[in-house]
Structure 1
Amino acid sequence: MKKYNKSLIFTIFTLSGILFVSSCSSDSKERDAAESTSALIEGNEKIVAFGHISAMNILNNADYKSIPKVNVILGSVLGNWKKGLEIDKPIYYALEAPFAENGTPETIYALINVKNQDSLSSIISEMGYALDKEGDISYHQEDDVTFGIRNKLLIIISKPGDYDGKAKIKEAFTLTEGDLSEDKAEEIIEQKGDIVSGVDIARLLSTSNTELAKLSTEKKDHLDELVEDAYIKTVANFTNGMATVESFNLFSEDLKDELFFKDKNGATLVSKLGGGDPWMGVAMNLDLRKGESFLTDYLPTAQKRLMEDFPGEAKFALLALGENPFSKLFSGQAGVVLKGNPKSAMGMELEYTSFLGLGPKGDILQQILDQQFSILAEKKGDTYVMGDLRVQSNKKGIFASSGKETGGKLNLPPYAKNFGEDSFSLFIAFEKMDVASLDLEDEAKVVEILQYVTINVNRDGSKMVIAAKNKNTNILKQVTDFYAKQIMGKIDSMGA
C-alpha cells in the first residue's frame, strides 16, 4: 500500500511538472509587448538602450485632431491601425550596439501589442505587402525593414545593409520567449511616462569602446565591478504648461564617487558673479581631479580629444603639466550670467559677468592672459580695461565683465533659486526677452511661447524643465498650435 502511494505521488508530481513546463512554454508565446521587450533585452546582450513611447498620449496631448488637414489624414490612418493594434498602449523599443559614427544603432526593434491578428493582416495586405510564413510567424521584409506577427505581438526590425529578415525576425521572437529582465531593467520597462528610456552602462562600454580591450586585467576588472548593473533611466512628460525630462543615475555610490560630480556648493559660485538681474546663466562645479583620473585610467584617448580643442599655447601648457593637467590649471568652478537689457543684449550691447576658477598651476593661464591683454587694454591695478570690458585675474580665478557694474547679490528668478549649487546648472528666462524681435529661424521661433528653461545635473541625475507662459494648456498643444499657425500664415501669404 505504501509503495502504491509513493508511485501515485511521484506520478502526480511528474505530470504536474510536465503541465507546468508546457504551460510556461505556451505562455511565453502569448506575452505582450512589455514582457517581450523584457525578455529580448535579457536575451540579447548587444541591446544597450531600450524603453517605450506613449505615442497616442503624445498625439492626444498635442491635440492633433485640431490641426487642419492633419486630422483627416492622420485620423483615418490611426483609425485603421487601431483595428489591428493596441495603439493606445506604449510602443516599446530596443537599440542594438554598436552605433555608427552618425549615431545609427546596429539594429532597432519596435514591439507593439496586437489587438486582432486578422485585422492587422488585412491592413498590411491593403498596403500591398504579401506576408510570408515561417512556422507560426507571419513576416515581410522590405529593404532594411522587416516586420513579423505572432499571436499578440508585432515586431518591427530596422537594420542597415543587407540581412536575412526571416532569420532576424525568427531570432527576435525566440528571444521574447526567454527569461524576463529583473531589477533595474525591469524597473525601467515598467516606468510610467510619455517617453521612457534606459541605457545599460556596462553593455554600452563593452560594445562601443575598443579602448577597454587595452586595459590591464586589474583595471578592467575594477571597471566591470563599477558599472555592473549601472543604468541611466530617463523619463519625459508633457503636461499643462510644462515639459520635464528627468534622468536618474541608477549607479552604485562607488561609481558616483569616481566621477566628476561636485554638488551642494551653496552660493560660493554665485557670490563671484556680482549682482544685478540676470536673464541667463550657466554654472559648473566639477571635481576635475576625479574626472581626469577616471579618463586616464579607463578612456585615455578621450582626454587627448579634449586637449585638441584648446588653443596652441594652452595645449602646450597642458602637455607640460604631465598627469591630470586640467585640474592643475582649473579649479573646476566656472560660471557666467547675462544681465542688463536682454533685448539689446541680443543685438549691439552685452552685459555679463563671468568667473573661471584657477587651480594650483593657474598662474600659467594668468601669464597667457597678461600677454594677450597688455598690448590691447589699459591696466588699472590687477584689472585690464578695454572699453566696457573688464578682466581681473588673481589667485582665485579670472573675472570678466562687460557693461554696467552691479554690486550686491544676483536677483535670480524663483525657478533658478538653486543656480550654481549642482555640478551643472543653466537657466534661460525667455519671459524677459523680446524673442519675437530676434532674427531666428522659423523652427526656433517657438521659444516665443516659453517662459523659461532650466537644467540641473548632479550625482543622482539631471532634470530639464521647459515651461510655457500659458500654464492652462498642454505644452505639446501649444507647440502644435504655434507651428500650425505659422504654416497657415505662410500658405495665406502665398495665396495672396
Structure 2
Amino acid sequence: MKKHNKSLLFSILTISGILFFSSCSSDSSERDAAEATSAMIEGNEKIVAFGHISAMNILNNADYKSIPKVNTILGSVLGNWKRGLEIDKPIYYALEAPFAHDGTPETVYAVINIKNPDSLASIISEMGYALDKDGDISYHQEDDVTFGIRNKLLIIISKPGDYDGKAKMKEAFTLTEGDLSEDKAADIIAQKGDIVSGIDVARLLHTSNTELEKLPADKKDHLNELVEDAYIKTVANFTNGMATVESQNLFSDDLKDELFFKDNNGTTLVSKLGGGNPWMGVAMNLDLRKGESFLSTYLPNAKQRIMADFPGEAKLALMALGENPLSKLFSGQAGVVLKGNPKPEWGMELEYSSYLGLGPKGDILRKIMEDQFSVFGEKKGDTYIMDNIHLKSTPKGIFTSSGNETGGKLNLPSYAKNFGEDSFSLFIAFERIDVKSLELEDAAKVVEILQYVTIHADRDGSKMVIAAKKKNVNILKQVTDFYANQIMEKMDAMGV
C-alpha cells in the first residue's frame, strides 16, 4: 500500500511540474502590455526610457465630450478603436537609444492590449491596410511605422529611415517572451499615474556617450559602480485645479554625493535678494566643486562644451584659472527675483534684484563687471549706477537691482516659502501679474487661468506644480475650455 502511495505521489508531482512549466512557457506569449513591455526592457539593453500613458484618463479629465465638434470626430474614432483595443488601460512605451541631435530616439515602441483581435483586424482593414503574415504575427509597414498583432498584443514600432519592419516586429514579439524586469524597473512599470516614465541612467550614459570608452579602466569601473541600478522615475498627474510632475532620483548615496547638489540652505540666498513683492524668482545653490570634478573625471568633453558657451573675456579668465575654474570663479549660489510691472511701459525697465556668488578667484569677474559699468555709469560709494540699474560688487558676490523695492525682506507667496533653499527652485506667481495686459500670443494666453507655477529640485528629485485659480475643476478641463472658448470667440468675430 505504501509503495502505491509513493508511486501516486510521484506521479502527481511529476504531472504538476509538467503542467507548471508548460503553463509558464505558454503564458509568455499570452502576456498583457505591462508584462510584455517589462520583458522588452529586460531583454533589450538599448532601451533607456520607458513607461506608460493613461490616454483615456487624460482625455476624460479634459472632458473632450463637452466640445461638440471634437466629440463628433474623436468620439467616433475612439468608439471604433474600443471595439478592438483596451484603450481604457495604459498605453506602454519604450525608447531605444542612441538619440539624434534633435532628441529623436533610434526606435520607439508602443504596446497596447487587444480586446478583440477580429474587430481590430476589421478596423485596420477599413483603414485600407492589408496585413501580412509571419507565423502567428500579422503585421503591416507604412514608411517608418510598423504595427504588428499577435494574441493579446498590438505593438507599434516607429523607426526613422529604412528598416525591415517584419524582422523588427518579430524581434519585438520575441523579446516580450523573455524574463520580466525586476526591482526598480518593475516598480516603475507598475507605478500608477496619468503619465509615468523611467530612465535607466547606466544605459543612457553608455549608449549616448562613446567618450566613456576612452576613460582609464579604473575610472570607467568606478563610474559603472556609481550608475549601476540608477533610475529616474517621473510621474505626472492631472487633478482638480492642479498638475504635478514629480521625479525621484533612484540613485545610490555614493552617486548623489558626487554630484552638484547642495540643499537645505535656509534663507542665506533669499536674504541677499532685497525686498519687495516678487512675481517670479529663480535660485540655484550648486556645489560647483563636486559638479566640475565629476565632469572633469568622467565627461571632460561635456565640460569643454559648457565652457565654450561663455563670453570671450570670461572664457579667457577660465582658461587662466587651470583645473576646476568654475568653482574658483563662482560660489555656486545665484538668484534673481522680478518685481513691479512685468510689462515695460513708457521706457521703464522691469524691477528686479539679483545676486551672483563669487569664488576665491572672483575678483577677475568683478573687474570685468566694474570696467563695463564704469564706462557708462557713475560710482556712489561702493555702488555703480547706470540709468536705473544699481551694481554693488563685493568679494563675496555681485548684487544688481533695478527699481524702488530693494530694501527690507522679500514678501514671498505662501507656495514659494522655501524658495532658495534647494539646489534649484523657481516660482511664477501669475496671481500677482496683470497677465491680460501682456498681450501674449494666443497659445500662451492660457496662463490667464493659472495661479502659480513652482519647481524645486534637490538630490532626491524634483517637483513641478502648476496650479489653476479654480480649485474644483480638473486642470485639463480648464485648459480645454479655455482654448475652446478662444476658438469660439474667433469664429463669432468672423461671423462663422
TM-superposed CA distance for 1:161, in Å, is 1.1
Provide the rounded CA distance (Å) in 2 between the counterparts of 1:449 and 1:346. 28
Residue of structure 2 in register with 1:368 after alignment: 368
Unaligned runs of 5+ in 1: none
Residue of structure 2 in register with 1:60 after alignment: 60
Cα deviation, 1:112-151, whole Å, max 9, x if unaligned, reads 1111111111111111111111111111111111111111
Instruction: Determine if the alignment matches structure 1 residue 161 to structure 2 residue 161.
Output: yes
Provide the rounded CA distance (Å) in 1 between the counterparts of 2:299 and 2:2. 69
- Contact 2:194/2:235, CA 8 A, preserved across alignment: yes
Residue of structure 2 in register with 1:194 after alignment: 194
Residue of structure 2 in register with 1:25 after alignment: 25
Amino acid of the residue matched to residue 214 of structure 2?
Answer: K
Deviates more, 1:264-273 or 1:60-69: 60-69
Secondary structure, counterpart of 1:318 in structure 2: helix
Cα deviation, 1:425-475, whole Å, max 9, x if unaligned, reads 000011111111213211111111111110000000000011111111111
- Contact 1:342/1:432, CA 8 A, preserved across alignment: no
Amino acid of the residue matched to residue 219 of structure 2?
Answer: K
Residue of structure 2 in register with 1:284 after alignment: 284
Residue of structure 2 in register with 1:81 after alignment: 81
Provide the rounded CA distance (Å) in 2 between the counterparts of 1:54 and 1:423. 32
Residue of structure 2 in register with 1:330 after alignment: 330
TM-superposed CA distance for 1:349, in Å, is 2.9
RMSD, aligned CA: 1.6
Instruction: Determine if the alignment matches structure 1 residue 448 to structure 2 residue 453.
Output: no
- Contact 2:286/2:333, CA 8 A, preserved across alignment: yes
Provide the rounded CA distance (Å) in 2 between the counterparts of 1:197 and 1:491. 39
TM-superposed CA distance for 1:348, in Å, is 3.2
Secondary structure, counterpart of 1:495 in structure 2: coil
Structure-to-structure mapping, 1:7-406, within 5 angstroms? 12-344=12-344, 348-406=348-406
Cα deviation, 1:160-207, whole Å, max 9, x if unaligned, reads 111111111111111111110000001100100000000000000111
- Contact 1:284/1:335, CA 8 A, preserved across alignment: yes
TM-superposed CA distance for 1:347, in Å, is 7.3
- Contact 2:429/2:451, CA 8 A, preserved across alignment: yes
Relative to structure 1, is the Cα distance of residues 154 and 18 closer, same or farther in structure 2, using a 3 angstrom cutoff? same
TM-superposed CA distance for 1:410, in Å, is 0.7
- Contact 1:345/1:351, CA 8 A, preserved across alignment: no
TM-superposed CA distance for 1:4, in Å, is 7.9
Provide the rounded CA distance (Å) in 1 between the counterparts of 2:120 and 2:345. 57
Cα deviation, 1:313-367, whole Å, max 9, x if unaligned, reads 1100000001100000000000001112345589733111100000000011111
- Contact 1:49/1:200, CA 8 A, preserved across alignment: yes
- Contact 2:139/2:166, CA 8 A, preserved across alignment: yes
TM-superposed CA distance for 1:153, in Å, is 1.0
TM-superposed CA distance for 1:480, in Å, is 0.7
Structure-to-structure mapping, 1:457-472, within 5 angstroms? 457-472=457-472
Q: List structure 1 segments (4+ residues) > 4 angstroms apart after TM superposition.
A: 1-14, 343-347
Provide the rounded CA distance (Å) in 2 between the counterparts of 1:345 and 1:455. 29
Amino acid of the residue matched to residue 248 of structure 2?
Answer: F
TM-superposed CA distance for 1:19, in Å, is 2.3
Provide the rounded CA distance (Å) in 1 between the counterparts of 2:153 and 2:370. 68
Provide the rounded CA distance (Å) in 2 between the counterparts of 1:319 and 1:462. 33
Identity %: 83
Aligned residues: 496
Provide the rounded CA distance (Å) in 2 between the counterparts of 1:16 and 1:432. 70
Amino acid of the residue matched to residue 359 of structure 1?
Answer: G
Secondary structure, counterpart of 2:349 in structure 1: coil
Provide the rounded CA distance (Å) in 2 between the counterparts of 1:405 and 1:494. 45
Provide the rounded CA distance (Å) in 2 between the counterparts of 1:137 and 1:351. 64
TM-score (norm 2): 0.97
Secondary structure, counterpart of 1:291 in structure 2: helix
- Contact 1:343/1:433, CA 8 A, preserved across alignment: no
Deviates more, 1:107-116 or 1:382-391: 382-391
- Contact 2:91/2:111, CA 8 A, preserved across alignment: yes
